Amino acid sequence: MKKTTLLVCAAAMTASSLAGAASFDFVKGSGGYHDSLNFVASDGVLGVNVTPVNGSKVSWTTQGLGRGTNGFNYLMAGGEGLTFNFTSAVDIGQVNMESYGSSNVSWTDANGLTGSIGSVQGKTGGQLNTITLSNITSMTFTANNNYSMIAGFDDVFATSQVPVPAAAWLFGSALIGLAGIAKKRR
């Protein structure tokens, strides 16, 4: 009975740590240019509205999201950008980019925090840039030089969800060890 209880507790801890991770995939574009686009995350709950910075249109291709008009430019370059407005505050762990040439993309969130990702050499079929952005409701990505597209976000959590910290895993393994020692003494 005690062994079953321990196994159930361990399974519950594992499931709770994996629950809630979502992703946004922008590479399944239908083409065209839009004033704004709405996307729903893989969890079916989180959403994001994408708009261009300083006019133009949002381009949506099979490579990701960029900016452009009239079928000419569909990538972000030289100060062009996109703003992402989330339906609720989120934590983002990874940004997926498609870039051509050495590229650098800066970001600014609604709280005024800034940073940059990129420094890519050559075309990168979906480079993964691991970053930690917390409590984000809105953020803007701006291409500082060569051509870039935002292909998606991974490891996205609604900030109301609390992941199981490492201390809980350590505590759980200590309890299992103590249970084993107690059983051995009997």
Residue 186, both tokens: 């009997």
Determine the pLDDT at residue 180: 86
CA 28/CA 62 separation, integer angstroms? 5
Average pLDDT over residues 87-114: 80
Predicted confidence band of residue 160 (pLDDT cuts 50, 70, 90): low
Residues listed for the chain: 186
State the pTM of this model. Answer: 0.70
30, amino acid identity: S
Predicted confidence band of residue 20 (pLDDT cuts 50, 70, 90): low
User: Contact at 8 Å (CB) between 58 and 50?
Assistant: yes
CA 37 to chain centre: 17
2 or 109, which is more confident?
A: 109
- For the chain, domains (ranges, CATH) are 18-161 (2.60.120)
For the stretch 146-156, pLDDT in tens is 777 888 888 88
CA 38/CA 51 separation, integer angstroms? 9
CA 46/CA 42 separation, integer angstroms? 8
For the stretch 73-96, pLDDT in tens is 778 887 888 999 999 999 888 888
Determine the pLDDT at residue 118: 63
185 or 4, which is more confident?
A: 185
Average pLDDT over residues 47-76: 82
Per-residue pLDDT for 102 more than 70?
Answer: no
